[in-house]
Structures are given as C-alpha cells and as structure tokens.
Structure 1
Amino acid sequence: MIPVRGRCEGPEGTRGKAPAEKSWNALAMQRYESRCGHAERISMLQGHVDRGRNLGLAIPPGVIVLDADSQESVEWLEQRLPTAPRQNTRSGAHFICRVPDQL
C-alpha cells in the first residue's frame, strides 16, 4: 500500500489518487522485498486514512488488476473470474488476479 494525496482535480472533497511520495514505486518495491517494519507501516497507513486520505495498492510482480468501469464489464468479469478477489469502486470494480506462469 502507498499513501496518495488527499485531494485530486475532481469535485471538492474527493479523495486523491496521485502518490504522496515522490519515489513511490521504488519505495513500494523496497517495502515489498524487505517486509520489515510491518507494524510501523500499518500504523502510518492507518493515520493517513484517519486524516481522510486514500491509499493505493502497489501491484507486485505476478499480479494484475482488471479495472471494470461499467456494470456490464463487472458482470462479464464476474462470470469468468468468480473466485477473484475484488474491490468495489464508484463506477464498477477492480478484479485482482495472478498472472499465469506461462505469460
């Protein structure tokens, strides 16, 4: 997880999507590979959310997230990926899947 800025260019009061840290990608990979400071990191992320800010998921190698932005696309993916973890969004859902080793 990476913290993202509290505001975006959308309507006033909406949560932002732009990373709060400049080197977010390198930091996310470093945290993923080291797995240290887990409790401290969770505490920091919780404080970020408690201040009304958003979090982004840094996708690790071997994982893909499919972004379904309409009810039709959500239903299509639900039929094909019934056991995939998903996160509901304002306009649809994100489906989280492992990339097959053959790809």
Structure 2
Amino acid sequence: MTFLWATRGQTWGFRFLRNGGFDDPLPVYDRAFTGAGDEPEVWHRPAHPDSPAALRFPDPLGRRDRSGRVIPHEFVVLPPLVDGIYSVDEGVQVLWGLVADEFGRVWDLPEPPSAG
C-alpha cells in the first residue's frame, strides 16, 4: 500500500483506516507530520526523496462529526504514489478518489472499522 489514512467519523474519534501495511503506523505518521503545521490544508514533503509526505484536507463533502467539527482527512503518502503529487489540490484529486466510497460507507458507523 502506498499511503496511510487517518480520519474520524460522525461518532468515532481519530483512527487509522489504512495502515499502509505497517503493524504500527503511528511512527510513520508522526515522522511525516513533524513540521507540517496545524493548518486545515497541508502538503508537506521533506527534501529527502524517500521520505513520506503529509497531506491534510477537510472532508470534500463538508461532513461534520456529532460535535459539529469538520472531518479532516490526513494521509501519509509513500513512494511511488508521492512522486506524482505536488500540492494539496493534486493530493485531494489522487487520494480522495481512492477512499471516497469507503469513507461514505463507514463515516456514520457507531464504531470505526479496523485499519487495513
């Protein structure tokens, strides 16, 4: 798998829905988002070509959780997929197309699905 994906649902908190094949995706996630900032939209790619990139954007359909917060989607994009992405907009085009249907099925479930 060429990406990790973390988000939250309507009733469940922030979870990894895709783990990128890592038993523990958190260290990879932390490394990618270090220095990325807290803005609602982020594209952060370190200079080293083998480093993972961080992508964050608000839910394209404007979904909100039960507390009214906009649902964020956070991705760690790994090679080779990262090589064709140079901005938030390009990242949304590529990544959202891969997960939109899946998120539509799970975002309002009472419990999050397990990462896979």
TM-score, normalised by the number of residues in structure 2: 0.26
Name the one with the larger helix percent. 1
Asked which structure has the greater CA Rg, the reply is 1
TM-score, normalised by the number of residues in structure 1: 0.28
